[in-house]
Structure formats: structure tokens, C-alpha cells
Amino acid sequence: MFFVLVDDVEGGAERVCAGCGGRAFIADSEEFWEDADPGEACCPCGSEEFEIAVAFSVVGDGSVRRVTVGLRCQKDGTVGVYANWKIDYGSTDHLPALV
């Protein structure tokens, strides 16, 4: 389970382990985090603990062009997209490993 900070304007997300507090950026989020204004993801039920799914939209040559972060609330099971951003640079092979 994770707490998740998201900024859908700049594009980015950071996950924080609910158990140990370990932190990790999702995809290329760390590169833009300094300019971000993240907020803690919150389910309509008020819970802030989630399971995370990350999807990558890939074009014909295998390059990632979009990252989408979906969250499932641990309390009531509600699912939603909490962050979605475009990737507009080359060499994206490293991104799927950064979830």
C-alpha cells in the first residue's frame, strides 16, 4: 500500500510506502518534480492509501509517449486515474523500469 503525491499539471507522481516510508518517483517524475506542485492523492471516501498501476502508451517504434497512473483505494476499492502526462522527448526505454 502506498500514499501517492501527484501533480497532473506538470505531470508526475511519487509513491510513499505506507509501511516503511520509502519513496520512489514514477517514470520521469523526478526530472520535473522541482517545478511541480504536488498534492496527496485522496479517495472520495477520505482514504489516502492505494494500490498503484502505471500504464505506458507506446508508439510504433516502442517509444513511450504517455504515462498514466491509476490508483485503487484500499478502503473502498474505488479506482481512478490520478495523473496522466505526455512524454515529448526521445529515448524512453528506461521509463517502464521506474514504477
pLDDT tens per residue across span 53-94: 999 999 988 899 999 999 999 999 999 999 999 998 888 988
Give Rg (Cα) of the chain: 13
Strands 13-17 and 23-25, bridge-based pairing: antiparallel
Give which of 70, 89, 63 is closest to 15, Cα–Cα.
70
- Distances, alpha carbon 77 to alpha carbons 3, 8, 27, 28, 48, in Å: 15, 22, 24, 27, 12
Q: What is the pTM of this model?
A: 0.90
Is the pLDDT reported for residue 45 higher than 90? yes
Domain containing 42 equals 2-97
Q: What is the total count of domains within the chain?
A: 1
